[in-house]
Structure 1
Amino acid sequence: MTRSHAARAAHGGGRGAGDGLGRGAGRGVRTAAALTLSVLVLLVAGSGWLYLQLNGDITTFGADGFSRDRPAAGAGGSNVLVIGSDSRAGGNRRLGGGEGDVGRSDTAFLLHVYGDGRHALAVSFPRDALVEIPSCRMPDGSWTPPRSGAMFNSAFTVGSTVKGNPACTQNTVEQLTGLRVDHTVVVDFAGFAALTTAVGGVPVCLPQDVYQGDLNPNLGSRGTLVFARGPQTVSGQRALDYVRLRHGLGDGSDIGRIKRQQAFTAALVKKVRARGMNPSALLPLARAATAALTVDPGLGTADRLLAFALAMKDIDLHNTKFLTLPWRYQGARVAVVHPDADALWADLRADRTVDGQDAGGTARPGATDDGKAAAPAPATPTAAPPGTGIGVAVYNGTTVPGLAAHAAAELRAAGFTVLGTATAASQQHAVTVVAYGPGRDVQARTVARYFPGAVLQQGAAPGVGVTLGRDYADRPAGGGGAPAAPPERGAGAARSADDDPCSDLSYG
């Protein structure tokens, strides 16, 4: 990594060559630190007087590990990937980190800033989500083979370096979403504590009393009360303790913790807005935030950060949304629900908001620049069925007779070419699997739309094959023949920065 200026050390933001943390107490803070620091930097960095201050605190990482086969740009807006790092360098060590020599990241989110400059959406990725890790660059310059069914957070550990591998995580997100990532930002949590103190504390809410044993499940007893139920204000170490909370709340899952961390970030953004956008309020926040950032070369100077920040200056609290990638449990891990997730990515590529609005900043079809109705557009030809040109082999992975023939009929009706049906080697499949060979990922995703909850799995065999599981056999009658409709992703599903801080704080 390189440093824009040596001035970073003068601000107390030095980054040493410390060890990477393990999966210990520091894990929970990463989502909130990432979400908080990145959003705030992008919100508050847009003043010219901060130029030199910010420039001195910015650290960059190399872009030589970015994929050579990247998605094209979408219809509008921009995407920033934010990764939470658990490096033990500098002040991170004293804040309760784990141990180990490999930089880890158990959290990440994609921030989409819409083309109209008035909406933003942050989509969180569960750390245990099973995804494909594409080919990634190692420290010696070689490239790894792709891996299927890997946990999302393992992308950052490719190469086993203390600093982690942000380029590999970016490659993974681009392959998973089909969205081009314009910038990637890595944050640590030492600056997070300083930031919460600089803002004067953050209002949070607890759904129930929290004890020492909830912060440390290995304590062996309940311990003393740490947080009382209800609203309160936290900063510094107490803010870190709050965002680490997992055990003892809801089902104790990381998914529930993501909900509380999103609420925390919303409250912090609201606090910054309330303090005002003036130099005396922004300087300590900007210094704390940028001191914790490592960015790609595209954001490596203050003027580049400024340009991006200016794109967010008109986004109000209600239009700042938080969402978690559509998911379901798969044993101890998390599976991506591809029909729903694919609809979300399609919305972002088209620059549509979570309530379906076109936010591209361009005139809608049927209107002219003066708002008057335009002449009707010529009729477009009827589109070919979505499965046209895609060949699929279908296998029955259950003991239910005739299941493969039933699925084959549905696929043919959607335009797919069924290459054959057969009984799978194992008839104990609980979940439908869509397997695909090299270069067939787009076709596989199209097939997966017709099997809600299916798991995508890349292999060496060519083509696309569907192995039906009990989930398909148990589907209600009449439930096939068309892809499942995308779930409602309106105000009820996405959190807004102006929502009640005591609402929707846990899962289970």
Structure 2
Amino acid sequence: MTDSRQASRRRARAAAVRGRRRRRSKGRTALAAAVSLLVLGAAGAGWVYTRLNGNISTFSADGVSGDRPPASTKGSNVLVIGSDARTGGNIALGGGDADDIGRSDTAFLLHTYADQKHAVAVSIPRDTLVDIPPCKLPDGSWSAPQSGAMFNAAYSVGETPEGNPACTQNTVEKLTGLRVDHTVVVDFKGFAAMTEAVGGVQVCLPQDVYQRDLNPHRPTRGKRIFAKGPQTVSGQQALDYVRIRHGIGDGSDIGRIKRQQAFVASLLKQIKSDGLTPSKLLPLADAATRSMTVDPGLGTADKLVAFAMSMKDIDLHNTKFVTVPWKYQGARVAIVHPDADALWAALRADRTLDGQDAGGSGKNGSAASPSPGAEAPASGADTPVSSTGVSVAVHNGTTVPGLAARAAEMLEGHGFTVTEATTATVRDQATTVIEYGPGQEEQAGKAARVFPGARLTPVTARGITVLLGRTYADEPEAPASPPPAHIPAQVSEDARSADDNPCSDLSYG
């Protein structure tokens, strides 16, 4: 009996030793793998960056207008242009004439909020009637401004095969009042290669689709190219999916835009589900950069990687896709005002589609709210301010007549309660000053957003007083009707989230 117990103890000790050895072995294996990855990463980083740098093409910044909206500390804006240029092998995918001029097939403005957790992409239909500002031509001269032109015509100014992305950027800045921080152009090849690099993208169709739906000039229906229901597409098939227009849905460009939004949402979901690992990201980055043209600010692998990593924490549900408020004007598309103005104003103020402030800490990490004695951020009178219940007195500190009434009307348009609008005893005020009592700094900050450059000053008396200075008198008079304080419900209700099911809401076709 004793020998049996001793044998049992020996077997238990031996098993424990073997377990420790196995654990040490697994630990050593994991450590060795980690070290190997680090060594390989360090050794291959130079090769990777050299390869990506060699892929990247940039367009000249000389064509970017000097008359631009001010830079903002709230969020960032990236203009993404899908080009249907037939150069560089794209004709094999898109058809058409190899010598044709470059055109923009699709475009959206991606606004990434300062909190780095929200983003919204606003599509601009290619047939939208807009004003195109002067743009640089190939001979170095500048074109005459165009009024009531189609939006995609901006990319064709100069009639070069590679197109004119700087002119499209100028047009978007004029249209939105938002400064475009970066512009990215992706052509047919780049789009198809990216879908292959991620192993395909899930889409969903409400009906079977045939060759004649893609090319309405075909004499026969042709072969079926898409089956009804969910499926995964890549390469040429993915390109056909986002380009198809006739014979599906309502056959309009608006329907195609909604389908493109659903596709980009599904692509983002696929990238996120794969994980942001080097083995997954390198093929994607290689495919993207080989057929991508960017502004000089994104012209190196370092800059592109830093830009991509800045968006890694954005939640799929908080990534929204919308179309600028529109209506048909004959065969073209007209922008609906003031709905579109409210959308642009919300993005300038870093407010989400449901009206929440997503300003975070700003681009430079500085606090968004002004501190005592600081100048107010340059939001402007056209940016809606949430100010219900805030009472303000207005005093005209200049000799310009009617200034207090003008400021009072503007404040009331933003929801403030104006208790008085009078002439100040001192009438040589140079800069607008906003005085506020104890505990009213936040409310005063809201008023300061209406008066760019105003100075906040704490006082002992309760209340908020705006003392108008010459700087306000010199500003052009604000529009009589400021944009709505909130984005119209239809815009937010029609938004698509990047995590939506591809088969949800198939009305777009």
Relative to the length of structure 1, the TM-score reads 0.68
The 1:505/1:449 distance shift into structure 2, 3 A limit, reads farther
The residue correspondences of 1:52-451 to structure 2 (distance < 5 A) are 52-99=50-97, 100-362=99-361, 379-381=391-393, 383-386=407-410, 446=479
Q: Which structure has the larger Rg? A: 2
The 1:300/1:129 distance shift into structure 2, 3 A limit, reads same
Residue by residue over 1:20-42, the C-alpha shift from the partner in whole angstroms, topping out at 9 and shown as x without a partner, is xxxxxxxxxxxxxxxxxxxxxxx
The 1:153/1:447 distance shift into structure 2, 3 A limit, reads farther
Aligned-partner SS, 2:352: coil
Aligned-partner SS, 2:184: strand
Contact 1:105 1:156 in 2 (8 A): yes
**Aligned Cα RMSD in Å?**
2.8
d(CA) in 2 for partners of 1:125, 1:326: 9
5+ residue gaps in structure 2? 1-43, 362-366, 372-388, 395-406, 413-474
Contact 2:269 2:316 in 1 (8 A): yes
Residue by residue over 1:327-349, the C-alpha shift from the partner in whole angstroms, topping out at 9 and shown as x without a partner, is 11101000011211110100010
Amino acid aligned to 1:91: G
d(CA) in 2 for partners of 1:48, 1:342: 45
Amino acid aligned to 1:102: I
Which residue of the partner structure matches residue 397 of structure 1?
A: none
Contact 1:130 1:152 in 2 (8 A): yes
The 1:273/1:378 distance shift into structure 2, 3 A limit, reads closer
Count the aligned residue pairs: 368
Contact 1:139 1:159 in 2 (8 A): yes
d(CA) in 1 for partners of 2:280, 2:369: 43
Aligned-partner SS, 1:67: coil
Aligned-partner SS, 2:347: helix
Amino acid aligned to 1:380: V
Which residue of the partner structure matches residue 502 of structure 2?
A: 501
Which residue of the partner structure matches residue 424 of structure 1?
A: none
Contact 2:86 2:100 in 1 (8 A): no
Aligned-partner SS, 2:322: strand
The 1:351/1:447 distance shift into structure 2, 3 A limit, reads same
Aligned-partner SS, 2:493: coil
Amino acid aligned to 2:504: S
* Greater RCO, 1 or 2 (C-alpha within 8 Å, sep 6+): 1
The 1:134/1:364 distance shift into structure 2, 3 A limit, reads closer
The 1:212/1:303 distance shift into structure 2, 3 A limit, reads same
Amino acid aligned to 1:492: E
Contact 2:339 2:487 in 1 (8 A): yes
Amino acid aligned to 2:199: G
The 1:485/1:81 distance shift into structure 2, 3 A limit, reads closer
The 1:83/1:60 distance shift into structure 2, 3 A limit, reads same
Aligned-partner SS, 2:225: strand
Amino acid aligned to 1:493: D
Contact 1:215 1:247 in 2 (8 A): yes
Aligned-partner SS, 1:380: strand
d(CA) in 2 for partners of 1:207, 1:444: 51
Tell me by how many angstroms 1:97 deviates: 2.5
Aligned-partner SS, 2:64: coil
Aligned-partner SS, 2:130: strand
Contact 1:259 1:504 in 2 (8 A): no
d(CA) in 1 for partners of 2:477, 2:142: 24
The 1:177/1:201 distance shift into structure 2, 3 A limit, reads same
Aligned-partner SS, 2:271: helix
Tell me by how many angstroms 1:303 deviates: 1.6
Amino acid aligned to 1:63: A
Tell me by how many angstroms 1:366 deviates: 12
The 1:443/1:125 distance shift into structure 2, 3 A limit, reads farther
Contact 2:354 2:487 in 1 (8 A): no
Contact 2:156 2:164 in 1 (8 A): yes
d(CA) in 2 for partners of 1:505, 1:151: 28
5+ residue gaps in structure 1? 1-46, 368-376, 389-441, 451-482
Aligned-partner SS, 1:164: coil
Aligned-partner SS, 2:238: helix
The 1:291/1:448 distance shift into structure 2, 3 A limit, reads farther
Contact 1:75 1:349 in 2 (8 A): no
Deviates more, 1:84-93 or 1:333-342: 84-93
d(CA) in 2 for partners of 1:154, 1:244: 18
The 1:178/1:48 distance shift into structure 2, 3 A limit, reads farther
Which residue of the partner structure matches residue 371 of structure 1?
A: none
d(CA) in 2 for partners of 1:317, 1:498: 5
Amino acid aligned to 1:385: E
Amino acid aligned to 2:131: E
The 1:486/1:352 distance shift into structure 2, 3 A limit, reads closer
Deviates more, 1:94-103 or 1:167-176: 94-103
The 1:221/1:115 distance shift into structure 2, 3 A limit, reads same
d(CA) in 2 for partners of 1:156, 1:495: 27
Contact 2:325 2:491 in 1 (8 A): no
Tell me by how many angstroms 1:261 deviates: 0.9
Contact 1:74 1:351 in 2 (8 A): no
d(CA) in 2 for partners of 1:488, 1:444: 29
Aligned-partner SS, 2:196: helix
Deviates more, 1:95-104 or 1:168-177: 95-104
Amino acid aligned to 1:101: D
Amino acid aligned to 1:357: Q
The 1:246/1:293 distance shift into structure 2, 3 A limit, reads same
d(CA) in 1 for partners of 2:349, 2:411: 21
Contact 1:70 1:174 in 2 (8 A): yes
Tell me by how many angstroms 1:204 deviates: 0.4
Contact 1:354 1:489 in 2 (8 A): no
d(CA) in 2 for partners of 1:356, 1:253: 30
Contact 1:253 1:507 in 2 (8 A): no
Amino acid aligned to 1:108: A
Contact 1:338 1:448 in 2 (8 A): no
d(CA) in 1 for partners of 2:351, 2:289: 30
Residue by residue over 1:309-358, the C-alpha shift from the partner in whole angstroms, topping out at 9 and shown as x without a partner, is 22201112111111111111101000011211110100010011111111
d(CA) in 2 for partners of 1:496, 1:134: 33
d(CA) in 1 for partners of 2:302, 2:276: 18
Contact 1:103 1:156 in 2 (8 A): yes
d(CA) in 2 for partners of 1:51, 1:105: 29
Aligned-partner SS, 2:236: helix
Higher helix fraction: Structure 1 or Structure 2? 2
Which residue of the partner structure matches residue 51 of structure 1?
A: 49
